Amino acid sequence: MHEAISSPFIVPVVAMLIPIVAIIGGIWSHIHQARVNADQRIAMIARGMSIDEMERLLGKPGEEMRPPKDPLRSLSNARRAGIVLVSVGLGLIAFFLVLTAILQVHEVLSGAAAGLIPLAIGIGFFIDYYLQKRELSRFGMEVDNDVTTGSQAG
């Protein structure tokens, strides 16, 4: 048991297990919510409620109770994610470049390649940001440069 805990592979294995457990938990939660909704509907039918009354109280079956998507918020989130990921990527690359200069070991430069992953994903978020911005302007919604405030120009 001690060898398994001190293995260098324990961190990547646990890192892969965390999202798997989160996905399974989300699926289980969705199934549980559907079961609770079905039980509520059965109880209402047993009490003699009409379908119109049930739909008024609970909504239609399968209907998600989510507010409409705000395009400016989506635009802001894409830009924010791009800024964070590009910053993390550049920070990792700079860290390993400085570490290589300090240690004078060129093999450490291979760690800088790890910074290319968040950097590339962040650039993808910026591309998504500009595509969303162009699409919104095509539909007549002029977007300010500061979409985080929710203000619109025009």
Q: pLDDT tens for residues 95-127?
A: 999 999 999 988 888 888 888 999 999 999 999
pLDDT of residue 62: 60
* pLDDT value of residue 122: 93
First CA to last CA distance, the chain: 66
In the block, which residue shows the tokens 């800024």? 83
**How much is the pLDDT for 108?**
86
pLDDT at 111: 86
Q: Give the CA angle between residues 17, 122, 23 to the nearest 5°.
A: 25
pLDDT at 154: 39
Distance CA 150, CA 152 (A): 7
Look up residue 108 and give its two tokens.
Answer: 């450490």
Domain-by-domain residue ranges, the chain? 9-58, 71-149
Confidence (pLDDT) at 1:
61
DSSP annotation string for 121-137: HHHHHHHHHHHHHHHHH
At residue 51, the pLDDT reads 82
3-state SS class at 31: helix
Neighbours of 15 (CB within 10 A): 9
The ranges of the chain with pLDDT < 70 are 1-2, 61-68, 141-154
